[in-house]
Amino acid sequence: MSVIEVERVTKRYGEVVAVSDVSFELGPGVTGLLGPNGAGKTTLLKMMAGLLGPTSGRVSLFGQSLRRVPQLYRRMGYCPESERLYEYMTGGEFLVFSAQLQLLSDPENEARKALELVNLVPERDKKIRAYSRGMRQRLKVAQSLLHDPEVLLLDEPLKGADPTQRRILIDLIRALGQRGKTIVVSSHVLYEVERMASQIILIHRGRLLAFGDFRAIRESMDDRPHRVSLRVSDPKRLAALLTEKALVRGVSLSGDEIVADVSEPDVFYGQLPSVALEAGVRLTQLVSLDEDLESVFRYLVQ
Amino acid sequence: MMIPTALLRLALRQLFGWHRLGLLLFLCALSALPVVVVAVTLASAQFDPDLRQEFMSEEFRATFLKVLFDFFLSPLLYPAIALLLTATILREEIQNETIIYLWTKPLARGAIVISKYVVAVLGALVFCGLSFLIMGSILINDINFIGKLLLTVVLALLAYGAFFLALSTFFDRALLWGFAYVLGWEESFSRISSAASQLSIRHYAENLEATLLGLSTDVSLGASVAVLLGLAIVFVGVASWRFSRMEFASSQGE
């Protein structure tokens, strides 16, 4: 059984359609929820967290609706995008309070462990109002995982964090995913998602554009050429031969570099060594320029 | 429905923490106002032989207390104190968006509403009750009389508190709507329309007070108590119902 099921979910605010007919099922691992600002990511995540009800369709966690069964929050942790917190509490008090509401047997101990996980122990007794943006982010993440939930929904958890804090959080999220937690991380910063998640949900203007492994998604987009950078001893000769054999749609030359637009990467990579031999050129570098998440994102959103 | 003590402590801290010092001082000043009025009146009586003579009489003092109660405390001051506490305790948490941290916990939303209601009404009772007890004991020695008026305060606060809490689940500006109810509906419209007066908390509080003091009224003691308690239960129910259907759609971007 899937952990999170989203079935034909639509969310309208009057005439505005925030999310339109979106369906997917998620299991353990880290999934990146991607989309430009205003795409519907936060709305979708809030529906998964039970904070919003869909206008139509169904969202369930372990086969049940969070809005009907609040006990499911024992198995789910949610880190909101909002930076608002109980400003008059200290970070430690906030986590102890959260642990008490989760009815944990040793709230003090669980709060301490959560603070350690996000590297916030030195700030434990500081009032939240004195926390920096990055500290707030880490505190929100800490409160979402202090009861060791099976599911984590994190809305822009890296926003405002400095590079060191980002690394700490990315490593933590990746490690939790490897431990079998079902994690959904919303972000519009692609390289961060790429470092954490193997699977993506890509939404744009409320519609689901793609769902699955982003490398597989890229490979399935045959209508979009793959761009490959090659450094060779004689770029003009190799470029001419590649064009002649119709292995590329087009090439551009810059010094000793060729950037080739490739329609069928498997065929191209398979034949490239023999073509290079035939041309009598030495291949010194081969880099795929767009098998990263950003390319997938750019192509799909376009 | 279980209400974790952490929820009650949170509500207590929300209302009476140092961060709310301004409101606390204002409430202290409001609740001290009748005590100050009584003290000033008694002090000024020392300079007026006629007034001093009248204040020697226990009956006059009791009448003075009742007039103060009927025309200032019960219709205005105590509802205002209840409004300031009950209309803000839940609304503030919604507006601050900290409500997310309660909604994403394994808690029935009704438990959140009840915890806020209990703490806010107890707070109102402390401010109103203490003030009334001090004022009453300065004026008269009749603990029975003071007790009857205090019982009226308790039941009225339960109903007012629930009503204002319910308002706060519907309106962003619940304080404004609450004042409109107290000053517009109860203080103005109900005074000129007997039908409208029956649709006010104040009507049943006044009748309860009158029956407790043995005066003639058009509503029996049982009916007044039942209506005030019933209103408290119904409005807490309405607040819970409304709160449990609320969605969190903040102004934050996607």
Q: What is the pLDDT along chain B (254 residues), one digit of tens a residue?
A: 788 899 999 999 998 888 888 989 999 999 999 999 999 988 888 888 888 888 888 888 889 999 999 999 999 999 999 999 999 999 999 999 999 999 999 999 999 999 999 999 999 999 999 999 999 999 988 899 999 999 999 999 999 999 999 999 999 999 999 999 999 998 888 878 777 788 899 999 999 999 998 888 888 999 999 999 999 999 999 999 999 999 887 644 44
pTM given for the model: 0.83
| A80/B107 CB distance under 8 A | no
Mind giving me the DSSP string for A23-55? EEEE-SEEEEEE--TTSSHHHHHHHHTTSS--S
- What is the chain B residue with the closest CA to A74? B106
Spatial strand order of the sheet with A4-13 comes to A16-26, A4-13, A56-61
| B105/A37 CB distance under 8 A | no
The whole-angstrom distance between B239's CA and the closest CA on chain A is: 17
- What is the chain A residue with the closest CA to B16? A88
- Region of A39 (left: φ > 0; alpha: ψ -120 to 50; beta: rest) is alpha
In chain B, what is the greatest distance between 2 CA atoms, to the nearest angstrom? 74
Contacts of A100 in chain B (CB under 8 A): 4-6
Q: Among A41, A52, A100, whose Cβ lies nearest the Cβ of B248?
A: A52
Per the CB < 8 A criterion, the answer to whether A28 and A198 are in contact is no
Q: How far apart are CA A21 and CA B156, in angstroms?
A: 50
Distance of alpha carbon B164 from the chain centroid: 9
- What is the chain B residue with the closest CA to A55? B247
Question: Who's near B229: CB < 8 A, 6+ residues apart?
Answer: B155, B158, B159
User: What is the number of helices (H) and of strands (E) in chain B?
Assistant: 13, 0
- What is the chain A residue with the closest CA to B10? A97
Q: Which positions in chain A have a beta carbon within 8 angstroms of at least one beta carbon in chain B?
A: 13, 18, 35, 37-43, 46, 49-53, 70-74, 76-78, 80-82, 84-88, 97-98, 100-103, 143
| A70/B108 CB distance under 8 A | yes
Q: In this structure, which amino acid lies at residue B158?
A: L
Per the CB < 8 A criterion, the answer to whether A289 and A228 are in contact is yes
| A38/B253 CB distance under 8 A | yes
Per the CB < 8 A criterion, the answer to whether A203 and A22 are in contact is yes
A273 burial via Cβ count (<10 Å: 0-12, 13-18, 19+): exposed
Helix (H, G, I), strand (E, B) or coil at A209: strand
Q: Among B5, B102, B252, whose Cβ lies nearest the Cβ of A82?
A: B252
Reading the block at residue A38, the tokens are: 């205003």
